[in-house]
Structure 1
Amino acid sequence: MSDEFHSEVITLPGSFGSREVKLSRLFPNVPNGVHVLLLHGVHSSANLSPHNKFSHLAHILAERGITPWLCETSRRQVSRDDYPDNLRGWITDAFGGKSFPDELADCEGAFSHVALHKPHETWLWGFSLGGVIALALAAKYEVERVIMSGTGLVSAPDAERDMILLPILSTLRENLSPEMLREIKAESTTLFRGTNDAIFSDEACRDLIDAIGLPAERKKYFAIEGADHSLKIRGGRRDAKIMDEMLALLLAT
């Protein structure tokens, strides 16, 4: 992976906590006019630090001439390191009181900033909840591609009980219309699922792609063997090649 790309991080107005959305960008050496906005999952992050999964994805996109933008949504500035054995405590302190409309507004602001650069093509690539947000944006704005990784129509019952009361997720369903999926303004959609995803089943992911109101030939579904829900872990270990595999499949379609 090349480290030669110029990068920048800008701060946009946010909806919550610090009121800051961090938007990181890599500049390809030979840009092809395609810009992709990368959207992280709930209570997560997307930045260019070496251990963030989006950093690797951003670099392999830039190597192919695609301009990646990494959107990190607003939250209270409390350190995850201060909660080594208390993930829920950190989620509550960092995101408690934040709603799904707040999260969507953060991402919409990032999308509007990317649009100022007048891309030849705009792609939205969201992971888990980020995939839902990508769909919500594509129901409002015209884009060339919507890519979802680890996003399904209905989560597994155990995961549902465990997560539905958490910040952002607790207001998800009341703010999404079933009509949204029939209003997608994209040339194509692609959905990736890790076969070891414990949050969304194969059926839930296929149901989502089927419900999108585009012709079947403009919708693709791929299973990534052995990958988990985050599409970061395979065989119990971090595996950056998962990102390479998804991108290769995406560019081949």
Structure 2
Amino acid sequence: MSDVVYPNHLGIIMDGNGRWAKERGLNRSLGHKAGADNLIKLLDYIYKNTSIKVVSLYAFSTENFKRDKEEVSYLMKLFVTLFNTKLEKVKKNNIKVVFSGRRDNLPKSVLDAMDKTTDDTKNNTKGILNICLNYGGDYEIVDMTKTIAKQVLDGTLKIDDITKEVVSKNLYQDLPPLDFVIRTSGEMRISNFMIYQSSYAEYDFPDTYFPDFDSKCLEESLDKYRKRDRRFGNAK
């Protein structure tokens, strides 16, 4: 594994749960459940078989609250189950779990499960799982700007001292830049996912719906990443 190149920070836009269910004549909620079950298997594979240190997941966007109320309600309950029980394997793999996004509009049950998960894993050191929940990349930049503006107003930060490093530290989480982003289901857009952190990220858009995106699919995407010529703006 040490001779194989892996991204340090992998982002996954988990798309296609609803269409996966529809094609099987199932309720959309069963697609989300299948996606959650697959996620646990995929994370277990990543942390046991690769050297990827940070994984960021797009779990629920700020715009997803516009969906059918029953679907949103089901997703909130699924998140509670996911955080309280299904992430046990992740916790046992010595992974620190953090969350990115706005806490307002989230039910107390979800917030409590998030806080417990964060507290339970705060001392873990092998890697980081960043779950983007009630998240929007534009809102993250707005919230970061407000935080820095307050620091300038109260005198704890000078305008001339604002650097890229200061900006990063005031995002929802201070994480390394994204190296590689995978969006499942074949949709070729990033949908407001970590737009500041992904300035030089590579992308892959496999056609597979997320419930079927297994370790073999992941390795196929990673093989594409290894063949990319990452220039970071430099001419070669």
Q: More strand by proportion, 1 or 2?
A: 1
For CA contacts below 8 A with separation 6 or more, give which structure has more relative contact order: 2
TM-score range, shorter chain: 0.3 to 0.5
For the pair shown, the structure with the greater C-alpha radius of gyration is 2
TM-score by length of 1: 0.36
Q: More helix by proportion, 1 or 2?
A: 2
